[in-house]
Homo-oligomer: A and B are copies of this chain.
Amino acid sequence: MRRSIATVCVSGTLDDKLTAAAAAGFDGIELFENDLVVSPWSPKEIRSRCADLGLSIDLYQPFRDFEAVPDPIFRKNRDRAERKFDVMAELGVDTILVCSSVSPESSDDDELAAAQLRLLAEKAQERKIRIAYEALAWGRHVSTWDHSWRIVQRADHPNLGLCLDSFHVLSRDVSPEGIAAITPGKIFFLQLADAPYLRMDVLQWSRHHRLFPGQGAFDLPGFVGLVLAAGYDGPLSLEVFNDVFRQSDPARTAVDAMRSLIALEDGLDDARSTQDRPIRRLPGAPELTGHSFTEFAVDGRSGPELRTALRGLGFTHTGQHRTKPVELWEQNACRIVLNSAVTRPGAAISAFAVASTDADRSLRRAEALAAPAHPNVREPGEAELAAIIAPDGTSVFVTRPDNDWRSDFLPTGTTPANTTGLLTTDHLGLAQPFDNFDEAGLFYHSVLGLEHLATEEYAAPFGMMRSRAIATPGRGVRLALTVALLRRGDWAPAVSDPQHVAFSTADIVATAAALTLPRLPVPDNYYADLAARFALDDDFVATLSRYGILYDRDTTGGELLHLYTPVLGGRVFFEIVERRNGYDRFGEPNAPVQMAAQRHQRLTTDDPA
């Protein structure tokens, strides 16, 4: 299927937008009128620029407040439309979006609306132009797809059809099921947008919170299936804008957009595939069985700090890379790689590795979804270890379950002591760049098959935070993605973009007793409140308090016991978790406690971070 994107989806001038759309591989664009109005290029120059970039102009949009008005206004509106037809002729675009009127001058009169749209269609026919009529969800009299379809049927003109926008359809209570029965050929255009479910004014919801397919809560494969069932054969076109995308790098946003359409097409039902236009399938996402290792980039100061911490956590330096200044530290199935070859100050999670049941297929899928490949600098004799680059810049290696990559490390001869009972990498916590939070969710879901478990917001000491829990179906790989609701300002003194690795234990009290590194101090007030909130046994609370263990309980009795180390190297820390009774989250209610304690730690130590 052809893939298009409305110019309003990305930031910048028209030049920025077209360049980004072409680079991301789109076939065409919807030209948003305001982008033309502010452009110094004439319509002919825009046409020629699009042709040079290999982009068709699939739609000119929007034309507003046209129909169901008194005759003098109708004549003015028709003149206004004729002027736009002139522009369209120069642009070489044959379809214009006319959205249902929001004007107080319009009346609730389907017959008048249909008659005036028919007159417009007649004018359009002379110019070989098609009118795609769309019900805005907040249209004054016409606000549902079925109402717009009744008007188009009543007008009954070959140059008048429908534009269906998934946001306008799915944000309303009217069922979309009847779309499949629309007369073939009468859906002139299809605009796609996802969105979270929000209880707010629908115009504001639309204006500030649209998302690319797969980033929100709408059933877009189902919706597109209905439209295709009605014989629609135009492009799948994105009409998405929100406060973040409007100011993000357009090149990045366009790739994110393209990824969403590729994944959407892959999710369509086989019954929607036709000979003319077969559905393009992605290699299926193989199951990920676990975290193979996490790599930290360290410098001369943070390296020793992390080594001391790893020893305190009971890790052993078991391997040294054959050719690079890279160390392997292990305890049971927990593996940390310290890489001193990178020359950034401080410490950071530079890469993590997940074990795939079919690493080759995982990588083919990633490539098909426009995931950037990590440049592979493999020395002779080293294991083939391929990686992709996640939206936050972290490299994600995909390894085989047999961990053949370990052969790149020469054994140090030291046997892991496994003294503290850490078993596996439970999850990673990764603060995301502000502009790329929704992109990251779609990336991990579409590329690696991680499911969205929950998104929560909480007030942290230095601003509102959003946290998204994602994991593989079998919970082999879990990630906690976080972002501040607003880009951080100068005041915010907390650790910026913190990252952490959480290890699992079957007995956190025994593990805590065996640790030989400082834990993050937890205030007594926290335990007093905890005891009151959960009506916990005094001895139990005393034990938690003694070891600085935090506690959470879900509604079905699942329990999380977890503790944190202080921040190391200015940005990273470790967590130890014990999950009981199927607890499936990350202890989000305790995040503000952890963040405040890390703030206090920074105020009371010499840590320069």
Contact = CB atoms under 8 A, between A and B. Distances in A.
Interface in A421-466: 434-435, 459, 461-464
Contacts of A459: 8, 34, 241, 246
B525 A83 contact: no
A484 interface: yes
Interface string A507-545: 000000000000001011110110111010000000000
A249 B462 CA distance: 9
A592 interface: yes
Contacts of A434: 489
A33 interface: yes
A38 B491 contact: no
Across chains A and B, which 9 residue pairs bring their CB atoms closest together, nearest first?
A: A247-B463, A200-B200, A38-B596, A199-B201, A83-B532, A487-B487, A249-B491, A80-B532, A37-B529
A249 B490 CA distance: 8
Given A489-B248, A491-B247, A39 B525 contact: yes
Given A38-B461, A41-B523, A247-B491, 14 more contacts: A8-B459, A11-B463, A11-B491, A11-B492, A38-B596, A40-B523, A42-B524, A43-B525, A246-B459, A246-B462, A247-B462, A247-B464, A247-B492, A435-B489
A271 interface: no
B525 A593 contact: no
Given A34-B459, A485-B243, A491 B435 contact: yes
A397 to B, nearest CB: 27
Interface string A563-607: 000000000000000000000000000001100110110000000
Interface string A215-232: 000000000000000000
Nearest to A592: B38
A593 B37 contact: yes
A463 B41 CA distance: 21
Contact of A200 (B76, B199, B485): B199
A270 interface: no
A204 to B, nearest CB: 7
A164 to B, nearest CB: 23
Contacts of A12: 461-462, 493
Contacts of A11: 461-463, 491-492
Contacts of A532: 79-80, 83-84
B525 A247 contact: no
Nearest to A523: B40
Interface string A72-95: 000010011001100100000000
8 contacts: A8-B459, A42-B525, A43-B525, A199-B204, A246-B464, A247-B491, A249-B490, A249-B491
A491 B248 contact: yes
A600 B459 CA distance: 40
A332 interface: no
A13 interface: yes
Contacts of A491: 11, 247-250, 435
Interface string A242-279: 01101111100000000000000000000000000000
Contacts of A37: 523, 525-526, 529, 593
Contacts of A492: 11, 247
A609 interface: no
Contacts of A524: 42
B525 A36 contact: yes
A377 interface: no
A546 interface: no
Contacts of A33: 529
Contacts of A531: 83
Nearest to A249: B491
A417 interface: no
Interface in A54-88: 76, 79-80, 83-84, 87
Contacts of A490: 249
Contacts of A593: 37-38
A129 to B, nearest CB: 15
Contact of A201 (B198, B249, B462, B599): B198
A517 to B, nearest CB: 20
A80 B535 contact: yes
A248 B375 CA distance: 40
B76 A535 contact: yes
A486 B487 contact: yes
B80 A533 contact: yes
Contact of A600 (B13, B76, B200, B248): B13
Q: Which of A42, A204, A244, A525 has the most CB of B within 10 A?
A: A525
Contacts of A280: none
A488 interface: yes
Interface string A190-204: 000000001111001
A41 B596 CA distance: 12
